[in-house]
Amino acid sequence: MKRFLKLFYLEMMINIRTLIYYILIMPLIFYTFFSIKDGLGDITASAYVVQILIVGTMIVGYQICTREEKDECKGILLISKCRMEMVNARALAAIVFNVIFSLIVLLVIVIFYCVGVKEKWLINEVIMYWFIYFFLVAIISTLIGQIIGNIINSKLSYLLIIFISVAIGALGKEFLELFGTTLHISLFKKISGYISVGQYDAFEKINYLYGLEIESKRLFHRLLYIALLVIILKIVMCIKQKCNVSECIKQIAVSGIVCIIAFMLFSNPTFCRKTGHMEEEGKYLTKSVDMCVDVRKKLNVSVKEQIEILEDTNLIEMTLYHNLKVSSIVGEKENIDYEQNGDFITVKFNKVAKKGEVKTINIEYSGLSSQYFFAGEKATYLPGNFAWIPVPGKKMVFKEGPGFVVLNQIENNEVDYTVKYKSYHKVFSNLNYENGVLKGKSKCGVTLISGNMEEDKINGVHIYFTLNNKIRYKNLASKILDIYDKCEEILQLKCDTINNIYVVPTDNNVFGRYGAKTMILDDTIITGAFEVAEGEDDYLLNEILVAILSKQNFGDLDSEAQNDILEQFTIAVKEQDREKIESVISKYDIEVK
């Protein structure tokens, strides 16, 4: 033990004198200052700083194993009688030094946030982010460097280090996909999800509902990664030092088991794709939906639907976002065959169902949502216009424009919903709470939102807002309600009274028209238009008008017609000119109700 501690001490002294660590710490501290400047919103822009960290620590790990010829290492060689003991001392010294190195940077960022941000949940997010993306990544990279150093001792090794660093870092996903496309090997895309220790989206910033890009499965993935690399390093050393065969076989067997566990338990997220242009009305109406929703890990749903058949048929079509995988569909009194193909599900009865017949179908499915929406342990964002619950017919979920646009999946009739849910956070919805269960009728599906949120009430309207909007949510909600009342009066809308407003982060592409950040579902307004300066009421008016029109056939018109309608409606609402409204409705044959 004394010899091991002496080896450990000497290795630590060499690490302390390693110049590259001090070169690395400068961009990390600079990044810290830069991100503090604009608040936490830029924290995940550090993806490329993580890339620098991976390259640097991998080089350090490589140099640890290729420095025996240097004078400063002669003492270590004299002390060590067992090379494996020296390897273990080096690995431990590298890990301890990475702990100290990461803690220095973490301490700086926590001090800045405690002084400038003062939000406990944000500071907790930062600490976890640094633990997963800096500390554990530094250890992983160091271990990979040591493995390379024990296999190859050549200047060409640095080219291999750069290649591997890029492959597993923030640039890896794009890099491997490009590499695989060039070589016509699709396997590279799948491999990138398993080997990546950088962010899945290097450009993704904080979502104040969800927090930072961290989840428990990513922590588990990195810990498995480290365990696997430690075993591989020992196997390499066994072979290099010509240890006995049984020892090598034992290490390889353990390594294989760890690999199998990692591949079985770790899954990388997938993203939305463009759906086909086929549109087909459903052959049934949904009467009622009784469902259990579990969002504690990912979206798990069990649905009992009561449907009314609209025409004699033995086959019905429904739409469900394709990354929600159906595990079973069963009838109450009959066997049912089904096929899930993309966003569409074909359900076939064993005999013809008559018009007007009421059937009960039980559907179970699970998975992720899309890059726009999510459901899991940290937060849930599932607006009712998104096809996370099956809807009748074949409908486009996304439409291609300047970007992907999420199309409204609205039922043709009012549906009676009962929703039991399991979540780590309080869930807010467009439905009412009754004895811990969500209940209510809606033509606009079910909206479930949870995460870093608080609630308030203004003039009888419930306001739900993310914690970064504590100061401005009242002013924003008041303006939205005032503008909506003016639109309702001049457009002669026959809508529900607004009872709920959600002020949550929203992508530009989500609500039925590219660039819109506001949607109206039943008596609920969901908006991401909270970055509005004082006096920009025209922007909010435009948002409300788009939300009103998107529920009609407005989305079928070309962009020139849409822009003209919005311009004329904006003027008409401001001037309270009903004649102008009727003129535009007549010109474009649109319906406003």
The Cα 467–Cα 485 span in angstroms is 27
Asked if residue 286 lies in contact with residue 411, where contact means CB atoms within 8 angstroms, the answer is yes
Beta-carbon count within 10 A of 540 CB: 19
Residue 541 tokens read as 């008016």
* Token digits of residue 401: 């424009």
Distance CA 260, CA 3 (A): 37
- pLDDT at position 409: 65
**What's the pLDDT at 417?**
95
Q: How far is residue 153's CA from residue 128's CA, in Å, rounded to a whole number?
A: 36
The whole-angstrom separation of Cα 142 and Cα 81 is 24
- The predicted pLDDT at position 407 comes to 66
Identify any residues that bridge with 363 across adjacent strands, giving them in sequence order. Answer: 303, 329
* pLDDT of the residue at 40: 45
Kindly state the tokens that stand for 249.
Answer: 């076989």
Task: Kindly state the tokens that stand for 229.
Answer: 């690399």
Residue 556: the pLDDT is 66
One DSSP character per residue, 308-368 reads: EESSSEEEEEEE--TTEEEEEEEESSS-EEEEEETTEEEEEEEEEEPTT-EEEEEEEEEE-
Q: Please give, one letter per residue, the 3-state secondary structure of 436-470.
A: CEEEEEECCCCCEEECCEEEEEECCEEEEEEHHHC
C-alpha 144/C-alpha 163 separation (Å) is: 12
Q: In what order do the strands lie in the sheet with 432-434?
A: 324-331, 358-367, 299-309, 284-294, 415-422, 437-442, 432-434
Distance CA 119, CA 116 (A): 9
Q: Retrieve residue 476's tokens.
A: 């924003």
Strands (E), 95-177: none
DSSP string, 370-415: -SS-EESSS-EEE-TTSSSS-EESB--SEEESSSEEEPP---SS-E
CA 582, 583, 585: angle at the middle one, nearest 5? Answer: 60
pLDDT under 50: residue ranges of the chain: 35-41, 43-44, 69-74, 77, 267-277
Q: Cβ of 531: how many Cβ atoms within 10 Å?
A: 12
CB atoms within 10 A of CB 57: 28
**pLDDT (0 to 100) of residue 527:** 86
**pLDDT value, residue 364:** 95
Provide the pLDDT for residue 50. Answer: 76
- pLDDT at position 346: 92
Q: What is the number of alpha carbons within 13 Å of residue 547 lying toward its C-beta?
A: 27
pLDDT value, residue 113? 65
The pLDDT value given to residue 18: 67
Helix axes 83-116, 47-64, angle to 10 degrees: 160
